[in-house]
């Protein structure tokens, strides 16, 4: 074997050893597959978190015209003193409103989804969904019957008005009252609370001009509830007072609005004489 060939062999072996060492270093300092997957998952969750509405500056939007024709009780309420006191505490923010929600189910559309999405109420108590209308109540009936709640809050409307299932407010409330009759028959002792439809605001009307009819639907709902002994909660006043807490789309609401909405619903139960 020549000296020249031997030198070539030694050089080649050295190169091979250096390459092998480099591979070992890269493997040692490269993240494992599980670590890479975890990092990617964390990045995904962080990106999703950024999609939540900000809790900082409100979007100032003009108030909607309040429908003063919507039915409201005018006679003094004959309530036990402790319930009158509780209602006053709620108004004065002297009680944590969320502790009063017990043995209930919240039902509604994407705006009602916020009750669990923003961690105000447990998700299992919120049978809500984006795009839902009152016809989704039947879809959720099995879960509703399993919970068998004392109180059922119906917070629908934004899709009901625009989707086109009902040509008139009268047709809508007729179906609503039938649904409520069915709920009361299937869950004896339950109390159904109908919340007025929260308003839409500009620029929402660019998507559907039908939302201009929300006050007409609310009037028909309030009258039908009064005639049938169903608790109706008018949300117009709080919607105007806290108009800044609408999202820029003019449809959805910011997290800051939910405590006021919840207070209004709870006052509806108490002043409707159904709180126990």
Tell me: the pLDDT tens digits for 134-143?
A: 999 999 999 9
pLDDT band at 77 (very low <50, low <70, confident <90, very high): low
pLDDT for position 135: 97
> How many residues make up the chain in this entry?
276
Least confident of 25-39, 126-140, 177-191: 25-39
Instruction: Pick the closest to residue 197 from 176, 183, 227, 181 (CA basis).
Output: 176
pLDDT in tens, 158-212: 999 999 999 999 999 999 999 999 999 999 999 999 999 999 999 999 999 999 9
Strands, sheet with 151-155, edge to edge from the N-terminal-most edge strand: 126-128, 104-108, 151-155, 191-195, 231-233
The CA distances from residue 120 to 1, 37, 123, in Å, are 84, 31, 9
Predicted model pTM: 0.75
Tokens 């500009």 -> residue: 202
User: What is the spatial distance between Cα 86 and Cα 269, in angstroms, rounded to a whole number?
Assistant: 12
Please choose, from the candidates 276, 71, 87, the residue with its C-alpha nearest in 3D space to the C-alpha of residue 189: 276
């Amino acid at each position: 074997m020549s000296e020249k060939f031997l030198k070539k062999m030694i050089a080649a072996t050295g190169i091979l050893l250096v390459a092998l060492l480099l591979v070992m270093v890269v493997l040692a300092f490269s993240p494992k597959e599980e670590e890479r997957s975890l990092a990617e998952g964390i990045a995904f969750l962080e990106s999703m978190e950024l999609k939540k509405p900000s809790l900082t500056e409100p979007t100032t939007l003009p108030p909607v015209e309040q429908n003063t024709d919507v039915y409201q009780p005018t006679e003094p309420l004959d309530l036990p003193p402790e319930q009158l006191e509780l209602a006053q505490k709620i108004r004065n923010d002297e009680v944590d409103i969320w502790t009063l929600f017990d043995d209930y189910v919240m039902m509604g559309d994407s705006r009602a989804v916020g009750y669990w999405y923003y961690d105000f109420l447990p998700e299992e108590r919120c049978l809500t969904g984006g795009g839902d209308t009152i016809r989704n109540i039947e879809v959720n009936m099995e879960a509703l019957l399993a919970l068998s709640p004392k109180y059922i809050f119906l917070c629908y409307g934004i899709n009901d008005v625009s989707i086109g299932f009902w040509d008139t407010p009268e047709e809508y409330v007729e179906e609503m009252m039938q649904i409520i009759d069915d709920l009361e028959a299937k869950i004896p002792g339950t109390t159904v609370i109908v919340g007025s439809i929260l308003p839409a605001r500009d620029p929402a009307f660019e998507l559907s001009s039908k939302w201009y009819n929300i006050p007409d639907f609310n009037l028909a709902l309030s009258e039908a509830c009064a005639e049938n002994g169903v608790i109706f909660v008018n949300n117009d006043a709080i919607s105007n007072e806290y108009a800044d807490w609408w999202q820029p789309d003019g449809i959805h609401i910011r997290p800051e609005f939910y405590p006021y909405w919840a207070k209004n619903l709870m006052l509806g139960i108490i002043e409707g004489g159904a709180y126990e």
